Chain A
Amino acid sequence: MNRLLKRAIIFIGFFFLLTPTVFADVKRIYDEADLLGAEQIQHLEEQAASYFSEWSTDFIIVTTNDTEGKSLMSYTQDVSDDLAEELNRAEDNMVILTIYIESSEDREAYIAAFGKGKEYVDNARVQLILDHIIPPLSDDDYFGAFELFFEKSAEYLNIRPGVNPESLLLNTYVQLAVAIGLGGIIVFFMAYSSGGRSTVTSGTYLNRNNSQIVRKHDRYLRKTVTRKRKPSNNNRGGGSGFSGGGGGVTRAGRSHSGGGRKF
């Protein structure tokens, strides 16, 4: 009896250890505007699933032809509230991209990020992602834009908040150029100064007791004033048309970062 109990415990233990984490059949790509082929959707679903296992963050894409009369931001908020309720995660980490196609001239994209997604994909980084994905979107390359959206979002989740992920200082070629320049300058200076340098300064031979200002004046002559317009914060993205900045709070009370742009 005792042995049997032991075996049962060991068996149950093994059962828990070996049971693979079963992925619930979560749907993350909602292509209501019918922009993607079945294979493309399948591919994006797989990618989103693997990102979830890596980052515990749901990467969601919604396309639609109808925002039910709401702004794209409110529409995105409502969709995301519904999804959050359905997924019922312990941690509400989500990055969502919605594409609204009214006509081929009137298209808009909006990105919202929640939880740790909000922390790492903040308003500024949302704008950076938009900078990347708007060009392919304008060229009707939706699949390419969505892949890029996944790629960039995941990349930024890896980068400490507050750091500009597109900073040139993080670029390998720039770093290489700086390293070579630094080496060259230092070695040149070493070679240059190997023969000894004069350590005399401008003050070495100055006779301070006898050097003085005999007479001086500082007379005001005139003044000029020029003005320029304050740079506005909403001018990001240049020619890509309208850019909406900032996040908000959904009806369900979930706060998020975000930003959108027409294309």
Chain B
Amino acid sequence: MVIQYKCPNCGSDMTFDAESGSLSCDNCGRQDNIENFSEDFIETVFEENEAKEYHCENCGAVIVTDGDTAATNCSFCGAAVVLADRVAGILAPSLVLPFTITKQQAEQAFRKWCKRGLLTPKDFKMADRIKEITGMYVPFWLYDLKNEAKIHAIGTRVRNYTRGDYIYTETKYYDVYRDLRIDFSRVPVDASEKMDDSLMDKLEPYQYNDLKDFKTPYLAGYIAEKYNYDADDLLPRVKDKMSKPLDDYIRSTISGYHSVNYKDKKIRTSKSKSLYTFLPVWMVYYDYEQAEHIFAMNGQTGKVVGKPPLSKAKIAGWFASIAGGSFILMKIISFIVTGGINF
């Protein structure tokens, strides 16, 4: 079963408009509020064998998908289609963060970002070989984690004082105990096999105020993928991701000591909630020197990540000017400090 949105006025295909946040018709300009759409089928469980092949309702062509595609465009007529069974049942997302950056804005923002690169080659900065920009809803799990930490540590306080000809150093040792409750909310971890984890991590943070209950029209006009890993599969990754914030919080509760030496750390982490969520990402495919470079842009904030090519000449130039400049500066300072005054 595929879902397509036909304009009630003119019968054209409607897509999600990032600027207005509504389902809109390019042809007649009609805009429909998405919040009011009913999504009864989301509870539906589709038959295993039902969805082997999807056909476009406009032109009847077979829609090219791989096993993970949840939304795409008909490759013949371009109509936005959502594959209903891949966003229903256990695959139904709870939340979606709609795109707020349009394709045009994404391209402009990417060009601007290319120009800002201080070490990127000149011809890369022109940003004139963008092969493709694709708006993609990437499947994430947003975890709520509950941590119970019981910490034993030895803390020291050091004091120096002088009596007669001697300097005394007094070290006091304390038995430090903390029983802590530490909660994290909505920690995102990408659940798509295709996406590079470190690239996705760098796209954070997202503004969660704009999260919406999932409705299929948000996907109209974009590519969407279903998750490959469920919330339990990725629990180790989210725990690992939060281990530093956890340590930082623990350390922040132990203050007033010169040194803290942990004797015993018992931490129990449990998942109190995990919400399947689609987060918006613009994928930018860029051809440079016979190689394809992939960049990702946060579809909500416009933040760009990805390794741009680096120019050896520019690296050398920057190195020379920083090193040379600071050397001259130090020479000037030492001249002022030393030779500046004669008598």
Contacts and interface: CB of A to CB of B under 8 A. Distances in A.
Interface residues of A, number: 58
B324 A179 contact: yes
Instruction: Kindly name the residue among A196, A199, A225 whose own CB sees the greatest number of chain B CB atoms within 10 A.
Output: A196
Interface string A137-165: 00000000000000000000111100101
B122 interface: no
A202 B245 contact: yes
Interface stretch (B102-110, B161-169, B218-226): B161-169
Contacts of B173: 220-224
Of A165, A175, A228, most B-chain CB atoms within 10 Å: A175
A178 B328 CA distance: 12
A195 B245 contact: no
B337 A163 contact: yes
Given A179-B327, A206-B184, A191 B306 contact: no
B193 interface: no
B160 to A, nearest CB: 10
Interface string B271-287: 00000000000000000
B10 interface: no
A6 interface: no
Interface string A175-212: 11011101110110011001111111011111100111
Contact of B167 (A163, A195, A197, A230): A230
Contacts of B186: 205
A70 interface: no
B202 A197 contact: yes
Contacts of A210: 181, 183
B62 interface: no
Interface string B234-254: 000000001011001100010
Contacts of A187: 119, 315, 318-319, 322
Interface string B165-181: 11111111111111111
B166 A229 contact: yes
Q: Considering residues B119, B185, B205, B343, which has the most beta carbons from chain A within 10 angstroms of its beta carbon?
A: B343
B195 interface: no
A55 B343 contact: yes
Given A195-B202, A196-B305, A158 B119 contact: no
A217 B179 CA distance: 9
A3 interface: no
Contacts, number: 186
B320 interface: yes
B168 A227 contact: yes
B45 interface: no
A28 interface: no
B235 to A, nearest CB: 15
A213 interface: yes
Interface in A211-251: 211-230
Interface string B115-140: 00111100000000000000000000
Contacts of B248: 202
A191 B316 CA distance: 12
Interface string A108-139: 00000000100000000000000000000000
Contacts of B307: 194-195
Interface string A44-62: 0000000000011000000
A179 B171 contact: no
B241 to A, nearest CB: 9
B205 A200 contact: yes
B82 interface: no
Given A175-B327, A202-B248, A158 B168 contact: no
B326 A182 contact: yes
A204 B118 CA distance: 29
Contacts of B171: 223-226
B343 A213 contact: no
Contacts of B343: 55-56, 116, 157
B291 interface: no
B75 interface: no
A24 interface: no
Given A116-B343, A182-B323, A214 B245 contact: no
Interface in B67-121: 117-120
A170 B334 contact: yes
Given A175-B331, A214-B180, A183 B322 contact: yes
B181 A218 contact: no
Nearest to B308: A194
A218 B337 contact: no
Interface of A: 55-56, 116, 157-160, 163, 165, 169-170, 172, 175-176, 178-180, 182-184, 186-187, 190-191, 194-200, 202-207, 210-230
Given A223-B173, A226-B169, 6 more contacts: A170-B337, A203-B245, A205-B242, A207-B185, A212-B180, A217-B177
Ranked nearest first, the 6 interchain pairs of A and B with the lowest CB-CB distance are A183-B323, A196-B305, A179-B327, A207-B183, A215-B179, A210-B183
19 contacts: A163-B338, A175-B330, A183-B319, A183-B324, A187-B119, A187-B319, A196-B305, A198-B201, A198-B204, A206-B182, A206-B185, A210-B181, A211-B249, A213-B179, A213-B180, A219-B174, A226-B168, A226-B171, A227-B166
